[in-house]
């Protein structure tokens, strides 16, 4: 029987495909962590969204069921169930073969940003069970799989019918396989956020989310008829916005392009890219096209209306995007991705199409909206002003002060030069600094005393930061320069000390000094922290001297409490250290300097991030928000302009 043979061949291919997916799940869904788990839902939902894009589905319901499974239901045409040439119902091909393409490869499904229709089979292969009901041709057709393999008997080569219906659509219920996933509990927060995003990108679609786990009975509907403009509005909901969101759209070379943007009164940019409804974390050609054309059109306008004079240089792209929130969404028939996480759009024609559409549409818009144009250009002017003041400060420092090593003569350097062996202690106060100089092992321990409170770098202009004597001495002593907004002159390989130890009193002032130093490192020399070179000395608070037995250092009040419980009052004398200055050289050596006995804590990036009060925004944006601080204090900076 010819039919039987080809069916056997098909089932071998299915088994091989399933095995490949189960063997290397990460290749198909990124990872087997919670992220990969949630991804299963997105793969199924994306197929329903494709059916929406084809013009046949307007509602999708996603339910996190009590038993840990997930149900996705759409009101599309229903996956075809008729017998396919390979002797199985079309639905089985969709759920069992890695390349369900072929027959289904019409233009709409090609626009899919995910796995090009292989998503359903991947989810199936990674599920303990997957149950599907298809409403189509007046019936409810049923199919069921276990770990990717069909378990229902076909009836005359077709799926069993389990009811009649006038409706159409597809309903998939699946339980992720505990043998594959590290965690099998979906994250409602993450799923909701992704569904909301999908709703913004598809304004005619309604997505209902339900969570029935733990008797929660949560239900939310995502419907965003304003599309990208609504997305931008929500992204900026807590900001001082300078105008209403602007949307631009069109298509070129078979690529649909849509963009929306809005400026806010903040020193940052936030530009997001999507291709075929999928977020591109690493950006790519659509963003490059957008940024390039936006910069060039705005510079032209700036000259036209006299914001830039003939002698002035152009604004940089970052100047122009200062304060911008934007979403660029394109539909591409054959997207390609590159980058570490394969989320960077790589198609060169996308850059061209975006730049063509946006360039044309921008001019149409700004010719009629001069007020918005002017307020955007004034954001660019502010940015350019700060950029220039930063550049100047930097050249000043580099030219005049490069060789002013230990300009104040306060650094007591160590004799050895091998950085791997050397340590530098930054010590608060001259008196503690003095004891530390006596106490240290001068072979490989350097001491840098700093006086009083050093400058709070969060609140100072960059010029002031770099003019500060203590900071200058530190930068010079470390030997690797510093990095800031433009260009990175920091070179960790030049670091002269393997360990940089902050030594401050165990009191409020000491904590403040440590915070300021950490903030300084975090902003200007973050690699010191990333690479684990920064430590905080943990000097003891008390010394106890028992009448009998050995003396001990106690590092906190808890330790003292414990000591008191096990030693009778009167059986010991207690010495409390108010500051490092109270310790003699020998005590200082023993508690904070001697590598054999000292206590210190390596600074994690989280500590430094906490220390720096502006953190949240700091990491994620192209324009460092510290420029906001600089701008707020630009009154000082302007003096040098």
Per CB under 6 A, 171 contacts ligand 2B7: yes
Residue nearest to ligand 2B7 (CB): 117
Select the span of 166-174, 414-422, 532-540, 552-560 touching ligand 2B7 (CB under 6 A). 166-174
Q: Is 268 left (phi over 0), alpha (psi -120 to 50) or beta?
A: beta
Q: Where are the alpha helices (DSSP H) in 58-187?
A: 90-96, 107-110, 119-125
Is position 214 annotated as part of the catalytic site?
no
Collapse the DSSP code of 175 into the 3-class scheme (helix H, G, I; strand E, B; otherwise coil) and give the result.
strand
Q: Which of 73, 484 has the CB closer to ligand 2B7?
A: 73
Per CB under 6 A, 100 contacts ligand 2B7: yes
Largest CA distance in the chain: 101
Q: What are the residues whose beta carbons fall under 8 Å from the beta carbon of 225, sequence distance 6 or more?
A: 203, 204
Q: Which stretch of DSSP H or E encloses residue 169?
A: strand 169-176
Select the span of 31-39, 167-175, 328-336, 610-618 touching ligand 2B7 (CB under 6 A). 167-175
Q: Which residues pair with 544 in a beta bridge?
A: 552, 574
Is position 428 annotated as part of the catalytic site?
yes
Is position 312 annotated as part of the catalytic site?
no
What is the C-alpha to C-alpha distance for residues 454 and 436, in angstroms, rounded to an integer? 19
> Among residues 42, 104, 444, 490, which is the contact residue for ligand 2B7, using CB under 6 A?
104
CB of 126 to ligand 2B7, least distance (A): 16
Is position 505 annotated as part of the catalytic site?
yes
Q: Which of 60, 302 has the CB closer to ligand 2B7?
A: 60
Q: Which of 77, 564 has the CB closer to ligand 2B7?
A: 77
Contact 589, 499 (CB under 8 A): no
Residues belonging to the chain: 641
With CA atoms as reference, report the closest residue to 447 among 352, 333, 580.
580
Q: Count Cα neighbours of 329 within 13 Å in the Cβ-side half-sphere.
A: 24
Sign of CA dihedral 245, 246, 247, 252: negative
> Among residues 17, 25, 36, 76, which is the contact residue for ligand 2B7, using CB under 6 A?
76
Contact 261, 325 (CB under 8 A): yes
**Pick the catalytic residue: 51, 143, 224, 505?**
505
Per CB under 6 A, 608 contacts ligand 2B7: no
Per CB under 6 A, 269 contacts ligand 2B7: no
Residues 7-66 that bind ligand 2B7 (CB under 6 A): 44, 47-48, 51
Q: Which of 38, 355 has the CB closer to ligand 2B7?
A: 38
Strand boundaries in 117-165, DSSP class E: 127-136, 139-146, 149-150, 161-164
> Among residues 94, 308, 320, 424, which is the contact residue for ligand 2B7, using CB under 6 A?
94
CB of 20 to ligand 2B7, least distance (A): 18
What is the C-alpha to C-alpha distance for residues 263 and 245, in angstroms, rounded to an integer? 8
CB of 144 to ligand 2B7, least distance (A): 15
Collapse the DSSP code of 50 into the 3-class scheme (helix H, G, I; strand E, B; otherwise coil) and give the result.
helix
Residues 190-219, one symbol each (x = binds ligand 2B7 by CB under 6 A, - = not), give ------------------------------
What is the C-alpha to C-alpha distance for residues 165 and 158, in angstroms, rounded to an integer? 18
Per CB under 6 A, 117 contacts ligand 2B7: yes
Q: Count Cα neighbours of 402 within 13 Å in the Cβ-side half-sphere.
A: 6
Q: Which of 51, 269 has the CB closer to ligand 2B7?
A: 51
DSSP secondary structure string, 181-243?
Answer: -S-----HHHHHHHHHHHHHH-TT-EEEEEE-GGG--EEEEE--TTHHHHHHHHHTTTS-BSS
> Among residues 59, 77, 147, 633, which is the contact residue for ligand 2B7, using CB under 6 A?
77
> Among residues 120, 236, 361, 515, which is the contact residue for ligand 2B7, using CB under 6 A?
120
Strand boundaries in 317-422, DSSP class E: 324-331, 337-338, 344-345
Q: Which of 117, 433 has the CB closer to ligand 2B7?
A: 117
Q: Which of 44, 159 has the CB closer to ligand 2B7?
A: 44
Q: Where are the alpha helices (DSSP H) in 219-347?
A: 227-235, 285-304, 317-320
623, 628, 633, 634 alpha-carbon torsion, rounded to 10°: 50
Q: How many CB atoms lie within 10 A of CB 543?
A: 18
CB of 280 to ligand 2B7, least distance (A): 22
**Pick the catalytic residue: 491, 507, 556, 561?**
507
Contact 523, 614 (CB under 8 A): no
> Among residues 21, 41, 72, 207, which is the contact residue for ligand 2B7, using CB under 6 A?
72
With CA atoms as reference, report the closest residue to 176 among 42, 302, 286.
42
Q: Which of 171, 525 has the CB closer to ligand 2B7?
A: 171
Per CB under 6 A, 416 contacts ligand 2B7: no
CB of 349 to ligand 2B7, least distance (A): 24
Select the span of 73-81, 150-158, 182-190, 425-433 touching ligand 2B7 (CB under 6 A). 73-81
10 Å CB burial of residue 242 (0-12, 13-18, 19+) is middle
Size of the site for ligand 2B7 (CB under 6 A): 20
> Among residues 69, 74, 267, 324, which is the contact residue for ligand 2B7, using CB under 6 A?
74
CB of 43 to ligand 2B7, least distance (A): 9
**Pick the catalytic residue: 190, 509, 527, 582?**
509
Q: Which residues pair with 70 in a beta bridge?
A: 64, 174
> Among residues 172, 180, 475, 583, which is the contact residue for ligand 2B7, using CB under 6 A?
172
Q: Which of 148, 284 has the CB closer to ligand 2B7?
A: 148
Per CB under 6 A, 354 contacts ligand 2B7: no
> Among residues 80, 113, 429, 510, which is the contact residue for ligand 2B7, using CB under 6 A?
80
CB of 23 to ligand 2B7, least distance (A): 23
Catalytic positions: 428, 505, 507, 509
Site residues for ligand 2B7 per CB under 6 A: 44, 47-48, 51, 72-74, 76-77, 79-80, 94, 100, 104, 109, 117, 120, 170-172
């Amino acid at each position: 029987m010819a039919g039987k043979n080809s069916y056997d061949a098909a089932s071998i291919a299915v088994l091989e495909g399933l095995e490949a997916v189960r063997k290397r799940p990460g290749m198909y869904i990124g990872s087997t962590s919670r992220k990969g788990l949630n991804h299963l839902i997105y793969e199924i939902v994306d197929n329903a969204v494709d059916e929406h894009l084809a013009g046949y589905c307007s509602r999708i319901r996603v339910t996190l069921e009590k038993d840990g499974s997930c149900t996705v239901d759409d009101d599309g045409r229903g996956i075809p169930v008729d017998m396919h040439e390979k002797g199985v119902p079309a639905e089985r091909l969709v759920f069992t073969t890695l390349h369900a393409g072929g027959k289904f490869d019409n233009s709409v499904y090609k626009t899919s940003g995910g796995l090009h229709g292989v998503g359903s089979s991947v989810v199936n292969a990674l599920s303990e069970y997957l149950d599907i009901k298809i409403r189509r041709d007046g019936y409810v057709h049923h199919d069921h799989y276990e770990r990717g393999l069909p378990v229902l008997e076909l009836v005359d080569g077709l799926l069993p019918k389990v009811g009649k219906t006038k409706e159409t659509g597809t309903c998939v219920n699946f339980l992720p396989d505990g043998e594959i996933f590290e965690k099998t509990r979906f994250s409602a927060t993450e799923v909701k956020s992704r569904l909301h995003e999908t709703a913004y990108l598809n304004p005619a679609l309604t997505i209902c989310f339900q969570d029935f786990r733990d008797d929660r009975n949560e239900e939310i509907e995502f419907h965003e008829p304003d599309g990208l403009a609504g997305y931008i509005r929500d992204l900026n909901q807590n900001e001082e916005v300078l105008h209403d969101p602007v949307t631009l759209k069109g298509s070129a070379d078979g690529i649909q392009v849509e963009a929306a943007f809005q400026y806010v009164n903040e020193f940052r940019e936030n530009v997001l890219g999507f291709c075929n409804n999928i977020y591109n974390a690493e950006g790519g050609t659509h963003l490059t096209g957008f940024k390039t054309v936006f910069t060039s059109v705005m510079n032209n306008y700036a000259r036209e209306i006299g914001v830039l004079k003939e002698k002035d240089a152009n604004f940089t792209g970052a100047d122009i995007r200062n304060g911008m929130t934007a979403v660029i969404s394109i539909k591409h028939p054959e997207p390609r991705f590159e980058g570490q996480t394969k989320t960077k759009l790589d198609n060169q024609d996308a850059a061209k199409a975006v730049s063509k559409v946006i360039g044309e549409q921008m001019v149409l818009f700004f010719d009629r909206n001069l007020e918005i144009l002017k307020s955007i250009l004034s954001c660019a002017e502010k940015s350019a002003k700060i950029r220039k003041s930063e550049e100047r400060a930097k050249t000043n420092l580099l030219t005049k002060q490069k060789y002013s090593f230990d300009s104040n003569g306060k650094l007591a350097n160590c004799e050895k030069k091998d950085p791997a062996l050397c340590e530098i202690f930054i010590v608060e106060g001259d008196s503690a600094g003095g004891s530390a100089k006596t106490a240290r092992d001068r072979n490989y321990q350097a001491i840098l005393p700093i006086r009083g409170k050093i400058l709070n770098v969060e609140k100072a202009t960059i010029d002031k930061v770099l003019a500060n004597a203590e900071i200058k001495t530190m930068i010079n002593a470390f030997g690797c320069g510093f990095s800031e907004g433009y260009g990175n002159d920091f070179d960790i390989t030049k670091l002269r000390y393997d360990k940089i130890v902050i030594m401050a009193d165990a009191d409020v002032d000491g904590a403040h000094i440590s915070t300021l130093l950490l903030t300084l490192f975090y902003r200007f020399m973050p690699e010191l922290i990333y690479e684990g070179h920064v430590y905080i000395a943990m000097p003891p608070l008390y010394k106890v001297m028992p009448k009998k037995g050995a003396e001990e250092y106690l590092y906190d009040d808890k330790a003292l409490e414990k000591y008191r419980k096990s030693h009778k009052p009167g059986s010991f004398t207690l010495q409390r250290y108010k500051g490092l200055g109270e310790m003699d050289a020998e005590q200082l050596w023993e508690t904070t300097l001697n590598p054999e006995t000292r206590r210190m804590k390596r600074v994690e990036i989280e500590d430094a991030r906490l220390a720096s009060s502006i953190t949240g925004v700091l990491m994620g944006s192209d324009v460092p928000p510290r420029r906001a601080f600089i701008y707020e204090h630009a009154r000082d900076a302007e003096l040098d302009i």
